[in-house]
Amino acid sequence: MTDPTTSPALTHSAYEISTDPGRLDRARIHHWLSTDAYWALGRPRDTQDRAIDGSLNFAAYHRETGEIAAYARVVTDHATFAWLCDVYVDRPARGTGLGTALVTAVRDHMEPYGLRRILLATDDAHGVYEKVGFESLRNPDKWMALGRH
């Protein structure tokens, strides 16, 4: 199995998708999420940095400028379960298929692990996730959560 920190970069049109944590623009990711993502508004930088450090991170970089254009992270045990979260596409890159490419890269990267389930939550991007195979929970009444809602 490929080490997720050294896996080859994935590509899509004008963007390269990579799991290399050394390439992440942490300040920009924090800005995006804490100011423009409904699920993370006001998230402190130290919290975001800890989340990055404890996750498998995916980012899309513009091929010409090298600038980060999208981000997603996966919390996983690499054996049975993963949680896809903090999926964000910079506003100028929206509508280009980059979000779908990023989620496809996550799905394809996780495939060799044989996970039983990858979960996510979204208020408004169901169509993006459905394109790559995600579907609504069949029995949502079986699921429970502990924490702030």
Mean pLDDT rounded to a whole number for the chain: 91
Global confidence as pTM: 0.90
Ramachandran assignment for 114, one of left (phi > 0), alpha (psi -120 to 50 degrees), beta (any other): left
Closest Cα to residue 85, out of 74, 69, 96?
Answer: 74
Distance spanning both ends of the chain, measured CA to CA: 36
- Asked if the model's pLDDT at residue 7 lies above 50, the reply is no
DSSP per-residue codes, 26-58: HHHHHHHHHHH-TTTTT--HHHHHHHHHTSEEE
Q: Which residues contact 77 (CB under 8 A, 6 or more apart)?
A: none
pLDDT band with cut points at 50, 70 and 90 for residue 76: very high
Query: How far is 74 from 5, CA to CA, in rounded Å?
Result: 13
* Cα 56 from Cα 84, distance rounded (Å): 10
Task: State the pLDDT confidence band at 148, using cuts at 50, 70 and 90.
Answer: confident
Q: Are 70 and 88 in contact (CB under 8 A)?
A: yes
Counts of helices then strands in the chain (DSSP H, E) = 4, 6
Length of the chain: 149
Please report the pLDDT score of residue 10 as a whole number: 57
Mean pLDDT on 39-56: 98
Q: How confident is the model at residue 11 (pLDDT cuts 50, 70, 90)?
A: low
CA distance 64 to 127: 29
Residue 4 is given by DSSP the state: T
Residue 71: pLDDT band (50, 70, 90) is very high
Is the pLDDT at 3 greater than 90? The verdict is no
- 59 pLDDT exceeds 50? yes
Mean pLDDT across 84-92: 97
